[in-house]
Amino acid sequence: MIKLHGENVYLATLERKDCKTLYEDFEYDFNNPAEPLNMGYSVEKSDEWFDEIQKLQGKENIRLGIFLNGGEVIGDVALQGLDSKNRSCSIGMGIAKIENRNKSYGKQAVKLILEYGFNYLGMERITANTLEVNISAQKSLEKSGFILEGRERKAEYFGGKRYDRLIYGLLAEEYLQEDSI
Protein backbone atom coordinates (compact mmCIF):
# COMPACT_ATOMS: atom_id res chain seq x y z
CA MET A 1 0.00 0.00 0.00
CA ILE A 2 1.33 3.43 -0.99
CA LYS A 3 1.54 6.09 1.71
CA LEU A 4 3.25 9.43 0.99
CA HIS A 5 3.66 11.84 3.92
CA GLY A 6 3.46 15.64 3.78
CA GLU A 7 3.26 18.37 6.39
CA ASN A 8 -0.51 18.35 7.06
CA VAL A 9 -1.68 15.60 4.72
CA TYR A 10 -0.67 12.20 3.45
CA LEU A 11 -1.59 10.33 0.30
CA ALA A 12 -2.74 6.72 0.51
CA THR A 13 -4.74 4.12 -1.36
CA LEU A 14 -8.45 4.90 -1.57
CA GLU A 15 -10.76 2.27 -0.12
CA ARG A 16 -14.42 1.85 -1.04
CA LYS A 17 -15.53 3.66 2.15
CA ASP A 18 -13.26 6.62 1.28
CA CYS A 19 -14.86 6.98 -2.16
CA LYS A 20 -18.29 6.96 -0.49
CA THR A 21 -17.18 9.66 1.95
CA LEU A 22 -15.86 11.84 -0.88
CA TYR A 23 -19.16 11.46 -2.75
CA GLU A 24 -21.15 12.34 0.40
CA ASP A 25 -18.90 15.30 1.25
CA PHE A 26 -18.53 16.87 -2.21
CA GLU A 27 -19.69 20.49 -2.34
CA TYR A 28 -19.98 22.40 -5.59
CA ASP A 29 -18.69 25.97 -5.32
CA PHE A 30 -21.19 28.06 -7.26
CA ASN A 31 -19.14 31.21 -6.51
CA ASN A 32 -16.03 29.67 -8.08
CA PRO A 33 -17.19 27.22 -10.76
CA ALA A 34 -14.28 24.98 -11.62
CA GLU A 35 -15.97 22.16 -13.52
CA PRO A 36 -19.36 21.22 -14.91
CA LEU A 37 -21.93 20.34 -12.25
CA ASN A 38 -22.88 16.66 -12.28
CA MET A 39 -26.42 16.54 -10.96
CA GLY A 40 -28.42 13.53 -9.92
CA TYR A 41 -25.75 10.99 -8.94
CA SER A 42 -26.52 9.04 -5.80
CA VAL A 43 -23.84 7.93 -3.37
CA GLU A 44 -24.11 4.44 -4.89
CA LYS A 45 -22.23 5.89 -7.89
CA SER A 46 -19.19 5.92 -5.59
CA ASP A 47 -19.07 2.11 -5.88
CA GLU A 48 -18.67 2.41 -9.67
CA TRP A 49 -15.95 5.04 -9.16
CA PHE A 50 -14.10 2.76 -6.75
CA ASP A 51 -14.35 -0.15 -9.21
CA GLU A 52 -13.00 2.08 -12.01
CA ILE A 53 -10.09 3.19 -9.81
CA GLN A 54 -9.22 -0.46 -9.10
CA LYS A 55 -9.43 -1.40 -12.78
CA LEU A 56 -7.06 1.39 -13.91
CA GLN A 57 -4.77 1.61 -10.86
CA GLY A 58 -1.13 1.11 -11.75
CA LYS A 59 -1.89 0.57 -15.42
CA GLU A 60 -3.34 3.85 -16.69
CA ASN A 61 -3.61 5.87 -13.48
CA ILE A 62 -2.21 6.26 -10.00
CA ARG A 63 -5.07 7.68 -7.90
CA LEU A 64 -4.61 8.26 -4.19
CA GLY A 65 -6.72 9.74 -1.45
CA ILE A 66 -5.72 12.97 0.27
CA PHE A 67 -5.99 12.43 4.02
CA LEU A 68 -5.50 14.88 6.88
CA ASN A 69 -2.84 13.60 9.27
CA GLY A 70 -5.67 12.58 11.64
CA GLY A 71 -6.96 10.10 9.03
CA GLU A 72 -9.93 11.99 7.52
CA VAL A 73 -10.17 11.66 3.72
CA ILE A 74 -10.70 15.09 2.13
CA GLY A 75 -9.96 14.57 -1.56
CA ASP A 76 -8.08 12.70 -4.24
CA VAL A 77 -5.13 13.28 -6.53
CA ALA A 78 -4.13 11.32 -9.61
CA LEU A 79 -1.51 10.84 -12.25
CA GLN A 80 -3.64 9.92 -15.25
CA GLY A 81 -2.99 8.57 -18.71
CA LEU A 82 0.35 7.05 -17.74
CA ASP A 83 2.42 6.76 -20.94
CA SER A 84 5.56 4.76 -20.18
CA LYS A 85 6.85 5.02 -23.75
CA ASN A 86 6.82 8.84 -23.74
CA ARG A 87 7.26 9.03 -19.95
CA SER A 88 4.38 11.45 -19.55
CA CYS A 89 1.00 11.77 -17.86
CA SER A 90 -1.42 14.38 -16.58
CA ILE A 91 -2.36 15.34 -13.05
CA GLY A 92 -5.78 15.92 -11.51
CA MET A 93 -6.78 16.83 -7.98
CA GLY A 94 -9.96 17.60 -6.05
CA ILE A 95 -10.92 18.53 -2.50
CA ALA A 96 -14.48 17.55 -1.52
CA LYS A 97 -15.55 20.20 1.02
CA ILE A 98 -15.29 23.93 0.35
CA GLU A 99 -14.00 24.49 3.91
CA ASN A 100 -10.89 22.37 3.11
CA ARG A 101 -10.02 24.26 -0.07
CA ASN A 102 -7.44 27.06 -0.16
CA LYS A 103 -5.67 25.71 2.95
CA SER A 104 -2.58 24.36 1.10
CA TYR A 105 -3.80 20.74 1.38
CA GLY A 106 -4.11 20.51 -2.39
CA LYS A 107 -0.70 22.10 -2.91
CA GLN A 108 0.88 19.57 -0.53
CA ALA A 109 -0.88 16.69 -2.31
CA VAL A 110 0.31 17.91 -5.71
CA LYS A 111 3.88 18.22 -4.40
CA LEU A 112 3.79 14.63 -3.08
CA ILE A 113 2.35 13.12 -6.27
CA LEU A 114 4.78 15.11 -8.45
CA GLU A 115 7.68 13.77 -6.41
CA TYR A 116 6.31 10.26 -6.86
CA GLY A 117 5.74 10.75 -10.59
CA PHE A 118 9.13 12.26 -11.40
CA ASN A 119 11.38 10.45 -8.93
CA TYR A 120 9.74 7.01 -8.65
CA LEU A 121 7.85 6.51 -11.93
CA GLY A 122 10.47 8.30 -14.03
CA MET A 123 8.03 10.65 -15.74
CA GLU A 124 9.68 13.36 -17.84
CA ARG A 125 6.57 15.47 -18.47
CA ILE A 126 3.41 16.01 -16.43
CA THR A 127 0.56 18.14 -17.75
CA ALA A 128 -2.51 19.71 -16.18
CA ASN A 129 -5.48 21.63 -17.43
CA THR A 130 -8.03 23.91 -15.85
CA LEU A 131 -10.69 26.35 -16.92
CA GLU A 132 -9.99 30.03 -17.32
CA VAL A 133 -12.37 30.83 -14.44
CA ASN A 134 -10.52 28.58 -11.96
CA ILE A 135 -8.04 31.19 -10.76
CA SER A 136 -7.10 29.27 -7.60
CA ALA A 137 -6.09 26.20 -9.65
CA GLN A 138 -4.02 28.39 -11.97
CA LYS A 139 -2.19 29.97 -9.04
CA SER A 140 -1.63 26.57 -7.43
CA LEU A 141 -0.25 25.07 -10.64
CA GLU A 142 2.10 28.02 -11.18
CA LYS A 143 3.31 27.85 -7.57
CA SER A 144 4.03 24.16 -8.15
CA GLY A 145 6.26 25.05 -11.12
CA PHE A 146 3.83 24.41 -13.99
CA ILE A 147 4.14 26.67 -17.03
CA LEU A 148 1.16 27.81 -19.10
CA GLU A 149 1.68 26.22 -22.51
CA GLY A 150 -1.54 26.93 -24.31
CA ARG A 151 -5.21 27.74 -24.41
CA GLU A 152 -8.03 25.80 -26.00
CA ARG A 153 -10.49 28.54 -26.81
CA LYS A 154 -14.15 28.02 -25.83
CA ALA A 155 -13.44 24.32 -25.19
CA GLU A 156 -15.89 23.73 -22.32
CA TYR A 157 -19.58 24.58 -22.10
CA PHE A 158 -21.48 24.66 -18.84
CA GLY A 159 -23.75 26.98 -16.93
CA GLY A 160 -24.86 28.56 -20.19
CA LYS A 161 -21.37 29.83 -21.03
CA ARG A 162 -18.31 28.68 -22.97
CA TYR A 163 -14.90 28.71 -21.25
CA ASP A 164 -11.32 28.42 -22.41
CA ARG A 165 -9.30 25.44 -21.15
CA LEU A 166 -5.75 26.33 -20.07
CA ILE A 167 -3.01 23.76 -20.64
CA TYR A 168 -0.03 23.62 -18.26
CA GLY A 169 3.11 21.52 -18.36
CA LEU A 170 6.02 20.68 -16.08
CA LEU A 171 9.19 18.91 -17.24
CA ALA A 172 11.34 16.72 -15.02
CA GLU A 173 14.36 19.02 -15.35
CA GLU A 174 12.23 22.01 -14.29
CA TYR A 175 10.83 20.09 -11.35
CA LEU A 176 14.27 18.89 -10.24
CA GLN A 177 15.65 22.42 -10.56
CA GLU A 178 12.77 23.84 -8.49
CA ASP A 179 13.16 21.03 -5.94
CA SER A 180 16.85 21.79 -5.41
CA ILE A 181 16.31 25.49 -4.61
Q: Which residues pair with 101 in a beta bridge?
A: none
- 3-class SS of residue 96: coil
Element (DSSP H or E) covering residue 176: helix 172-180
Q: What sign for the dihedral angle of Cα 70, 7, 138, 131?
A: negative
The answer to whether residue 31 scores a pLDDT higher than 80 is: no
Task: Enumerate the domain spans of the chain.
Answer: 3-180
The more confidently predicted of residues 29 and 148 is 148
The answer to whether residue 36 scores a pLDDT higher than 70 is: no
The answer to whether residue 180 scores a pLDDT higher than 60 is: no
- 3-class SS of residue 67: strand
The answer to whether residue 50 scores a pLDDT higher than 70 is: yes
Q: What is 3-180's CATH number, 3.40.50.10490, 3.40.50.1370, 3.40.50.970, 3.40.630.30?
A: 3.40.630.30
Q: What sign for the dihedral angle of Cα 41, 30, 10, 92?
A: positive
Among the listed residues 63, 67, 51, the one whose alpha carbon sits nearest the alpha carbon of residue 90:
63
Q: What sign for the dihedral angle of Cα 174, 9, 15, 94?
A: negative
pTM over 0.85: yes
The answer to whether residue 158 scores a pLDDT higher than 90 is: no
